[in-house]
A and B are shown apart, each in its own frame.
Chain A
Amino acid sequence: MFNEHEVVSRVLNKDLRAFELLVKQYEKLVFFVINRLVKDQQNKEDICQEVFIKIHQNLHRFEFQSKLSTWIARIAYLTAVNYLKKNKNNSPSEYPENIDNYHFTDETPEQELIKKNTAAYVNLLIEQMPHQYKTVLTLYHLNEFSCAEIEEITGIPEGTVKSYLFRARKLLKEKIEKDLKKENI
């Protein structure tokens, strides 16, 4: 069983094998966050590596005042956001000014093809959403963080996290229902 206190103290004593254990324990968590926010498939692994190197360099600052997973997710989130800011010119639609009025755009042939697999279609729809929606959906559903923990990770107030979650899920549900109705006609 993974004992965070023991592993952290071994890493702080320069035990790289212990750090490898820590990476194995949290690589999925980091990947889920990076995978959702970064579109460029080739850069995903490099960014995940960058996240773990940052974790290694800053682990002495972690004082067990929060869960280790929350601290790691925060580093992953901030690294992904910094990457998006640096590459803003490549993805101008990443930060819509008013996300409250967000709606899905018309369908692409790719969407039409993928519709039959619900999970893949939902992922494709999420990819088009503003990054705030993507982040809360991923942290809540895939990484199973609570809304309070998501506030700690992203800095978005808990109430706003809840409202993003509800709105994002409602948008997705309505879009899928609309598509199903279209198919049945």
Chain B
Amino acid sequence: MKELDDDELQELLNNGLVPDSKTLSEEDKDDLHAYQNLFTALSSEPEQGLPMSFAANVRRKLQEQVNRKSDLRFNLIALSIFVVGLTLAYGLLSVISPESGDMFLNAVISFKWVLMTLVIGFLAFLFIDQRLVKRSY
């Protein structure tokens, strides 16, 4: 006669307690055996896993993200230096000779498209260089 139900058998195996087979009925023995096999199958790892290089791949991806951030920061600093340089040059010239300052400002305004093209060209060069150069980590 069956004495242990499924819940009791599972609870015993969960706690690592294997009842003495002599004390069990045939039906309980079969159920216990079936559950033992099932527990073993459930604990077996999948045959396919992640590639060996997985951790290195993750690290490379993170390194690329970090580099992208630092490249962006560098490009913004380069742009700021250019703008601050022009402002400083205008400020200094205005202090030394207001006429030269005005001439400088007029020159900058007249050649604004040339200057903007140069700045955009420089930033584009930096951007392409940062993308094309392959870094080794």
Give residues in A with beta carbon < 8 Å to B. 14, 16-17, 19-21, 23-24, 27-28, 31-32, 35, 41, 45, 48-49, 52-53, 56, 118-123, 137, 141-142, 165-166, 169-170, 172-173, 176-177
Contacts and interface: CB of A to CB of B under 8 A. Distances in A.
A123 B46 contact: yes
A53 B58 contact: yes
Given A19-B58, A49-B54, 5 more contacts: A28-B49, A32-B45, A118-B41, A119-B40, A169-B10
Nearest to A24: B55
B57 interface: yes
B126 to A, nearest CB: 23
Nearest to A180: B34
Contacts, number: 87
Nearest to B11: A166
Nearest to B43: A141
Which label, helix, strand, loop or mixed, suits the secondary structure of the A interface? Answer: helix
What band does the interface of chain B fall in when counting residues whose beta carbon is under 8 Å from A? Answer: 20 to 34
B26 to A, nearest CB: 14
5 contacts: A19-B59, A20-B58, A32-B46, A45-B50, A122-B42
A49 to B, nearest CB: 6
A16 B37 CA distance: 42
Given A166-B7, A166-B10, A169-B35, A23 B58 contact: yes
B17 interface: no
Interface in B28-68: 31, 34-35, 37-51, 54-59, 61-63, 65-66
B43 A56 contact: no
- For the complex of A and B, list the 3 residue pairs with the smallest distance between their C-beta atoms, beginning with the closest: A141-B42, A23-B55, A122-B41
